A and B are shown apart, each in its own frame.
Chain A
Amino acid sequence: MKKIFFLYLLLTLTGCAKEELFSEQARHDLWLFHEGAEMPIVVEGNTSSKIFLILLHGGPGGSAQEFNAYSKAFSDPLEVDYAMVYYDQRNAGLARGEWDEDKLTIEQHVEDLDKVIDLLNHKYGDDIKIFLSGHSWGGFLGTAYLLEPARQAKVKAWINIAGGIHRNLRNFHNLATIKTIALEQLAAMENVEKWETLLQDTENELNNGPLQYDAETESVPNALLRRAENLISEDRLLDLNGNGGTAAIYGDNYDVFLILINGRKGTLIEQLYAFDETLEADLNKITLPVLSIYGRYDVVTAAPQGEYLNANVSTPEEDRKFVLLNKSGHSCTKNEPVVIAEEIKMFIEKYQ
């Protein structure tokens, strides 16, 4: 009797320990140790679809877990149909490991992403379909990754959400967008005095500012965009759909302090300016289907950044799509999560 009991116990325990690779509600916690970095990757959702959507977070220094934790209206509907891949980049989010400034480069981030994609193939098989998406800096990183045709071959399509694509042009795109919004708000007689002042300062920067910005001089347009963001918030131009933090902190692996401290570390701004030249030369190497999604009130990486991307890739016209969200700013997955999730679903269904 005792033997039967222990055999039953053993079978039960080993049965519990086995994790299903393909299911409709999977949650797999993976770690990628690469070149000193220890990067967490959460695969959550419908792995049985064999469609994997990688989400590259912003920053640098943000966290992909943030989308899973605070933008559930965006991430949950996608998890129903696909396996979402929340990957925290080196020295960002919940990543741990060595802090090596020499490895905080665009090239290293591109290499890390390549390893993430290879790891997904290694774990889930070569027959899975991988879609790549990225928000803000993630939009840049995904674009940089796809400039190499061999890497493009590993993914089905590219979803750029409010990506900062071209660093120098970004300043002019942001300033032009601030001007447009200011004129609209003045016409609507909203917050007149503040918008007038901001409009004057913006026009002054557009007329007298440098033609080529750098890490130092971009502080002027950056200060203007912070003022614009405050006014956009005051005038309640955005929808707000983020969910609360309690479940995120205690139920998910969301470590506020770790994410904040990681987020304050190094910056790649100088490298981003230097990369503009590569981008101008190689953007036409991208032939994948492209979906660009931007908020109308995004003054951090304004919508013309997406238009620039769509206009310069070599993807056939019918496989390029641009979506402008009318009630969104830069954090558009918190402003219009349902619309974005639906657009992504339609796009994936078309190109899977």
Chain B
Amino acid sequence: MKTILTLLFLLQSLLLFAQSETLEKPKSVGIHYFGELGFRPGLEVDFGLPILKNKIKRAEKKRLLFLQGYLRPSFAYYHYAHFSNNFLLGLKFNYQFKLVNSENYKYLFAEPYLKIGYLRYAFIGEIFDTANGGFEERNFGGANSIVLGAGLDFGGKITNRFDWLVGFEYLAESTDDKLLLHRFVFKLGTRIKLQTK
């Protein structure tokens, strides 16, 4: 199962970079507070690349609905007090529903997404290993997991360059010690558009 997930993760990454050169669509960098269980502090950075053709529908007279798929590779760091520093390398598939006011170009968007990732725990504290007899001090120790999950982001325009973003994420975590854990994340942050045209 883990091998399949890892291969899937790698394949998606390859597809992402294979496509990124061929599309000229708005790319963005997201920077978010990443709070596991709300208040376990962390930071996530992601990079949005459009992968599906932009569709436009007229929602009302003044409003246009844009539909756009994105791949968003992401990296998150978060911290468990006295226990571990955690590093999550992820890949999200976001589908954006963006409602634009055609008169003033203000907009709001909602993005449901799926996420897959690799999570590394780096234990905090002194590690003593008995493997070679006695107590050998180790510099690094930790655990690995594969995460699968889904989330929902909401956002809107602040300026031509910046969007605001708030979101929630659920991650099912399959650990290398055969545990299945649940993670709930609250996100708050901004997206920086790399093209403002």
Contacts and interface: CB of A to CB of B under 8 A. Distances in A.
Interface of A: 27-35, 38, 40, 42, 94, 96-99, 115, 118-119, 122-123, 249-253, 255, 257-258, 261-262
Contacts of B143: 38, 96-97
Contacts of A30: 125-128
B178 A28 contact: no
Contact of A250 (B39, B127, B130, B180): B39
B83 interface: yes
Nearest to A29: B125
Contact of A258 (B39, B81, B82, B179): B179
B160 to A, nearest CB: 38
A97 B130 contact: no
A27 B124 CA distance: 12
A118 B134 CA distance: 9
A30 B126 CA distance: 5
B131 to A, nearest CB: 7
A32 B181 CA distance: 22
A200 B135 CA distance: 56
Given A38-B143, A96-B177, A99-B177, A31 B82 contact: no
13 contacts: A27-B82, A28-B125, A29-B124, A30-B126, A30-B127, A34-B129, A40-B83, A97-B177, A98-B177, A99-B178, A119-B128, A250-B37, A258-B179
Interface of B: 37, 39-40, 80-83, 121, 123-131, 134-135, 138, 141, 143, 175, 177-183
B47 to A, nearest CB: 29
Which 10 pairs of residues, A with B, have the shortest CB-CB distance?
Answer: A29-B125, A253-B83, A253-B82, A33-B129, A31-B127, A99-B178, A34-B130, A96-B143, A257-B181, A122-B135
B183 A257 contact: yes
Given A33-B141, A96-B143, A253-B80, 7 more contacts: A33-B128, A119-B128, A123-B126, A255-B80, A257-B183, A258-B181, A261-B179
Contacts of A96: 121, 143, 175, 177
Contacts, number: 80
A252 B141 CA distance: 20
Contacts of B131: 33
Contacts of B81: 250-253
Nearest to A262: B179
A118 B141 CA distance: 20
Contact of A33 (B80, B83, B121, B130): B130
A96 B86 CA distance: 14
Contact of A255 (B83, B127, B180): B83
Nearest to A249: B37
Contacts of A98: 177
B192 to A, nearest CB: 29
Contacts of B180: 261
Given A34-B130, A96-B177, A119 B135 contact: yes
Contact of A32 (B130, B134, B175, B183): B130
Contacts of B178: 99
A313 to B, nearest CB: 30
A29 B126 contact: yes
B78 to A, nearest CB: 12
Residue of B180, B182, B183 with most chain A CB atoms under a 10 A cut-off: B182
A116 B96 CA distance: 53
A302 B86 CA distance: 42
Contacts of A255: 80, 83
A31 B126 contact: yes
A214 B177 CA distance: 30
Contacts of B37: 249-250
Contacts of B39: 250
B82 A29 contact: yes
A29 to B, nearest CB: 3
Nearest to B138: A33
Contacts of B80: 253, 255
Residue among A28, A29, A35, A115 having the largest count of chain B Cβ atoms under 10 Å:
A29
